Structure 1
């Protein structure tokens, strides 16, 4: 049974029924407990009231041998000790004379030994409960008795009335609980209908007005999830738009070079067109790779970085990948790398190092130099820097070049404008800081990334 309303309702009803049963058992125990229970207490109260209500002259009247045996209430009914009546007797203890008795009670003492307190007797083929009490001076004694049959009948009657009241209470509470649950859960049904009526990509937050306070955290959690889903959907839309925007021009250029190569009338022109076509294909492949890297970083937006990565190994791997490109431009690629470990994502760090190398190689001049350094920082953490002696970047452009699709005006080297924006995103994802400045020999450009130190014990190394 998965219905919240039914679970709450049945749980409450079960508790109510169990409580009612326990209360009835406790009530029965209190009613029938010897001497202090309601049965015996009622006999004790009646006896005490009779003692306090008996006039003192009653003993003098009863002492006359010519007078009536005791006071009568109208016609003296024949002796019949009925089990459905309470019987009492008043005795003169000094003379052992019966002063007064209730109609139908026997002429002999209910308790012949005239002891005090409670006792059980068997009379007229029935068991009786008797309570005896004397006055403070010990002149009279009142004996009050009721049959066990009558006591049980009274108990059954009280129990039936109690059960009827309990049943009415349960029925009333059932209706009240069901009504409250229906009203409480009605906003959830309304919310359900609202969600079902939404379009597929409508990720606006769910309304939480009129919802129970206990459900507010649940709705807030769903809204936070919807916000993350909406961000992911928007990232996908931006990716598609960016890909369409950035691939449109390279594809048109590739088509143009292919057409030139097809129409060339001599081998030299054909080779030139094919070289340009090959360069365009390489740029398009790099652009597609950067767009895919951007999509992967979007997926890592809320990820917890728990791996320990050997950053020096990542640098060596990426340097080998870009070695041929550097050699093609006659660039000297120098590595000054010490063993360094940081907390992060190995693929994202590969994107960062790869784009820093790609940017330095693309903007470096023929015969230039590129230096990659990676060392533990003096104040903790790890510092990675990539420097070149190329044309450099104006100081007022240092922050702008990390914006997506931004290109420095007047730069003859064509780029996608994505690479350094990916560097900025990976650095932010790892809690790192970045700093730009002059490169080698007082010229060129340098990017320095400082990663935070590892916290806690060093985990197993992952690459």
Structure 2
């Protein structure tokens, strides 16, 4: 059983189908009517020409009967038919003249089968089969000098069939052109009518995830304004919810940081008066408190920097060199306590971004490097500008590094590679990835050198003046 959802139908395609099919039916019916009308006119003209032949023979019959009664009347009529035959060499004419009793005055008696026997005194047209040809027959009653006669003229239909084909081509080609032009104009009209919707879709698609500003409504057609108004109301609600979330996260960060710092201070004060055994236990408590404070800070930072937070963050021009210099004073003491040689090689590297997010990024990279570097090891943080104009940031250490098959997974939340230093939360590199995504930066993990180590490099997009 196929449970795959049906592919969505295009609104443009639906409009075209709703317009094209009725237009196609109308144009086909119009073409059929034009063809039938033109064919009837051509047939009427041909029947009129055939009737004139019959009238000409009837007139000749009167002349021959009055002025040449002693001549062979049939021979005169036969010569007249032969003369008419020379005028039109495409079709063949057959002529027969019958008296009021059905006797043959002129023509082949076998042609009497073409005569329609009825009581009407008006000319009559019929389609018959004669001498292996389709023929058009007119039975023309005439009150001649010889008395009432019936003039029968039959004509093969080659010229009629050729004219039918010409009528078909003459009506088919213009109608096909008209059909193509009409459908093309409908397509252009639908495409022009759908362009505001395309521009709206493009404007929404080009927005960054944290752009919750209202969409402009003034230039939109009246049909799209209710939709855009509903979208603006939705984004207004999302924006309000995101602001409330950020306010809660900021307050939570402050409310959690303050008591944890107070507890840590109290533990340190107690440790001054405690016994050596108690001091070792208090040191474990202090370490746990520090890890709790660190994990709390990381989770709050991750919640604020992740794209799903949907918070419009104001980006400004920030120099990575200034951020590294600020973080140098923060991480120098932890590095000395761990016996790590922490170095900074900073050059001016301006980027467009959020200062607090980039501080979190640098802090997590330096903290991870210090944790994983061995005692007496080295950690270096550097930044600069590449040849393309984009800033770059590199933090490297000489620790055990991360295997190549694990480098993608360590960017996931709460994941720690096998053999990682204990005490981590698995959030550091996840925060780095989220901040990099918010800033449009590329993140790459590699080795410091042949001996191992981890090298984390970020490349930011160039600034545009």
TM interval, shorter chain, is 0.3 to 0.5
Q: TM-score, normalised by structure 1?
A: 0.45
Greater fraction helix: 2
Q: TM-score, normalised by structure 2?
A: 0.44
